[in-house]
Amino acid sequence: MKRTWLLVALFLLLGIGVFYTVQYKNKQSGGSRVSWDMDFAVRDTAAITRIFLADRKGRSATLVRKDGYWLYNNTHKARPTAVQTLLETMHNINVRYLPTKAAEPAMIKSLAAEGIKVEIYGKDNALLKNYYVGGVTSDEMGTYMIMEGAEQPYVVHIPTFVGQLRVRYMLGDDNWRDRTVFSEKAEDIQFVSVEYPQQKSASFELEKVGNAAYEVRPFFSTTPTSKSPQRKGVAEAYLLQFERLVAEAYETTNPVKDSVMALVPFAVVTLTKTDSTTKRVRFWPVSIEENVDDGSAFIIRYFTDVNNGEAFMLTQHHVFGPIFRDYPSFFSKGDTRMRN
């Protein structure tokens, strides 16, 4: 009996020793028991300075963190919501399950044929993660991924998200480019003109002529100048509308693009900043609906051209409508303009 108790005590001591050894090693390694080839997440996304994505079709996207924004392919500001979604994915991604051996060949084939290469860099250009994103599971609840240099593929997901993750690793200019059309502070605007080619009397120019002083005048010389006093604060309030005007989508590959740009636009908005940079934006109604009450037509969307071909976009009237004022609206009621 005494011998039995001694053996039990010995096993207990060995067990306690093993437990504390494992605990110590886990603490030394940050408590992680995930092997390197399944550790896809970047827990500190604030440390990410550059992201590179590429596929086998030759498409690529490079996102570089700048002061307050991300730069896409060294040319355009990246769309903030798209970058934020990608960073959240990189932070929250987790292995859902280890596939069966029978399923592995199809996964590896998908990764080889349509995999998106992902390289994530941190400070001093240190490579943080390097993996491939493949296809999706049949239920579209998981996404195939494999680490660079690994042999074992995994099915990954975000625990709180229902759906596949591949679409978040986007490629193509229109997916990543910032959709902002105007993003100007009122104090930085020197001049704005709004030309309505088919409503010349509504067209106008607004120019800063002093400290918080603005002059509003007709765009066309044939339009009589208003004799009514300019409404106080209206010009300033109007310029505030240019602070955040964002398009719904890019329409770069739309087959009607060239034919639309050859048409007379509904409106042409030209904005010049105090640093002399100018942007010219044209609008053509594309989605028009009828009011069921009185049968009148109202515009829902516009095709929109920025700087004569720099960008061709789709914009919504409820976003851009506030900048489509007319000349008389800047003056007091009882307008006594001279008329022909």
Specify the DSSP class assigned to residue 85.
H
- Write out the two tokens for 139: 């239920």
Can you give the pLDDT at residue 239?
97
List Cβ neighbours of 147 (8 Å cut-off, separation of 6 or more).
36, 37, 38, 40, 130, 131
Q: Calculate Rg over the CA atoms of the chain.
A: 30
List, for residues 140-191, the tens digit of each pLDDT value: 889 999 999 999 999 999 998 988 999 999 999 999 999 999 999 999 999 9
Can you give the pLDDT at residue 3?
53
> CA-to-CA distance for 210 and 311, rounded, in angstroms?
33
Strand 94-97 and strand 249-250: pairing?
Answer: unpaired
In the predicted structure, residue 13 carries a pLDDT above the cut 70: no
- pTM for the full predicted model: 0.77
Q: Which residue has the higher pLDDT, 201 or 14?
A: 201
Lowest-confidence segment of 3-17, 52-66, 284-298 by average pLDDT:
3-17
> CA-to-CA distance for 146 and 40, rounded, in angstroms?
9
Torsion angle of C-alpha atoms 255, 259, 265, 268, degrees rounded to 10: 70
- Write out the two tokens for 199: 């409503």
Mean predicted confidence (pLDDT) in 73-82: 94
> CA-to-CA distance for 298 and 317, rounded, in angstroms?
9
Q: List phi, psi (to 5°) of 318.
A: -65, -20
Mean predicted confidence (pLDDT) in 256-272: 97
Strand 154-157 and strand 245-246: pairing?
Answer: unpaired
Can you give the pLDDT at residue 67?
94
User: Which whole-number Å values give the CA distances from 39 to 30, 80, 94, 198, in the listed order?
Assistant: 13, 26, 8, 61
In the predicted structure, residue 32 carries a pLDDT above the cut 50: no
Q: What are the residue boundaries of the structural domains of the chain, listed by start?
A: 36-176, 180-330
Sign (positive or negative) of CA dihedral 213, 216, 219, 223: negative
List Cβ neighbours of 129 (8 Å cut-off, separation of 6 or more).
40, 42, 90, 118, 119, 120
Strands (E), 167-266: 180-182, 189-195, 204-210, 213-218, 245-246, 249-250
List Cβ neighbours of 213 (8 Å cut-off, separation of 6 or more).
none
List, for residues 214-241, the tens digit of each pLDDT value: 999 999 999 999 999 999 999 999 999 9
Cβ-contact 93, 155 below 8 angstroms: no
Q: Which residue has the higher pLDDT, 7 or 236?
A: 236
List Cβ neighbours of 239 (8 Å cut-off, separation of 6 or more).
186, 189, 192, 206, 214
